[in-house]
Structure 1
Amino acid sequence: MHTQLKISLISVLFTTGILLQGCSDSSEEAEPMAQDQAAMEESKGATENPSTARTSAPANAEVTILNPRDGDSVTSPVTVEFGLEGMEVAKAGTDEANTGHHHLLVDLDQLPPMDAPLPSTDQVIHFGGGQTSTELELEPGEHTLQLLLGDYMHVPHEPPVMSEKITITVE
């Protein structure tokens, strides 16, 4: 039954274009794409099953923002480097134990639901190609950044593998 649910969810995500639009596999610094809202709503219903199992993460797994550091003043574009310990980075769709891919939360006040695929928005940026860094164009001012690892289906692990939220100032 669990395998059938995975196959059904993958079919829905490919049909709606979520895996194809939300994650770029073409380069290390691929431009993230915003998702079509209708596709997200369509897939949302398929993933809100409260019995959906989340992928396990090792207790020692840790994701960090290596650069910039909390409190840094930077100029745009901002180079953000991701770090991961206790797990391996894999492209979205790779269903292997102890793997996941990065999602960067930008200026997000409230965490997204942890039991459903992460949305792809300007504030939740997917790196399904296995990227470990990016360049962000940010307006001058204060911004927050946080990393959240997602499994092969963009669902946060159990327990969530999430960095501390950092604050930077763009001059």
Structure 2
Amino acid sequence: MKPHALMLGAGLALASAAHASDHRTPAPEDARAYIISPSDGETVSNPVTIVFGLEGMGIAPAGTEAENTGHHHLLINTELDSVDLDANLPATDQIVHFGGGQTQVTTELPTGEHRLQLLLGDANHVPHDPPVTSDPVTITVE
């Protein structure tokens, strides 16, 4: 499955056109997302399975307002500092939404090097405060 196809798959919530609220949803200071696999520096072949992890919070589908929960967004070849943390995350080929509460994806990535990073969003696809992110992982697809 191509990354842009992930945004349109059954059960995936897309970013709403609604504006972000005046404040971001709080997250515990020790919460963190992480990529379980593939590991940083790994060489993989298609299809690539990316497994997401989360500590200090729980997963809930988009639209679910529950304390200390959120859902994953996968940044592909996108630097975190280029993302507006005060707004709804857009659904693009580089910011893939997992609004159904998914914790992994198997997808096709073009041959070459790719930077992957997770960013948790709240019920409305807005990053938490502080943002809950993973360390970036760089992989090479053969």
Question: TM-score, structure 1 length as denominator?
Answer: 0.73
- In the comparison of the two structures, how many residue pairs are matched? 136
| Aligned residue number for residue 122 of structure 1 | 93
Larger Rg: 1
Q: Which of 25, 30, 46 pairs up with 1:60? A: 30
Unaligned runs of 5+ in 2: 1-6
More strand by share: 2
Preserved CA contact (<8 Å) 2:20 2:88: no
Matched, 1:80 2:66: no
Inter-CA distance 163–121: structure 2 relative to 1 (3 Å threshold): same
Structure 2 residue 59 is matched with structure 1 residue 89 = yes
Q: Secondary structure at the match of 2:82?
A: coil
Q: Deviations over 1:27-66 (max 9, x none)?
A: xxx6x87x8xxxx7xx3xx5267xx110000011010000
Residue in structure 2 matched with residue 100 of structure 1 by the alignment: 70
Which of 107, 113, 123 is residue 152 of structure 1 equivalent to?
Answer: 123
Give the AA of the match of 2:31.
A
SS in structure 2 at match of 1:66: strand
Letter in 2 for 1:112: V
Among all aligned residue pairs of Structure 1 and Structure 2, give the percentage whose two residues are the same amino acid.
53
Structure 1 unpaired stretches of 5+: 1-21
Q: 1:24 to 1:95 in 2, by over 3 A?
A: farther
The structure 1 segments of at least 4 consecutive aligned residues displaced by more than 2 Å after TM superposition are: 22-26, 46-49
Contact 1:25 1:130 in 2 (8 A): no
Task: Provide the TM-score with structure 2 as the length reference.
Answer: 0.87
Deviation at 1:136, TM superposition (A): 1.8
Instruction: Supply the distance in 2 between the matched residues of 1:106 and 1:136 (Cα, whole angstroms).
Output: 12
**Greater RCO, CA 8 A, separation 6+:** 2
Distance 1:76 1:82 in 2: 18
Match of 2:3 in 1: none
Deviation at 1:108, TM superposition (A): 1.0
For the aligned residues, what is the CA RMSD?
2.3
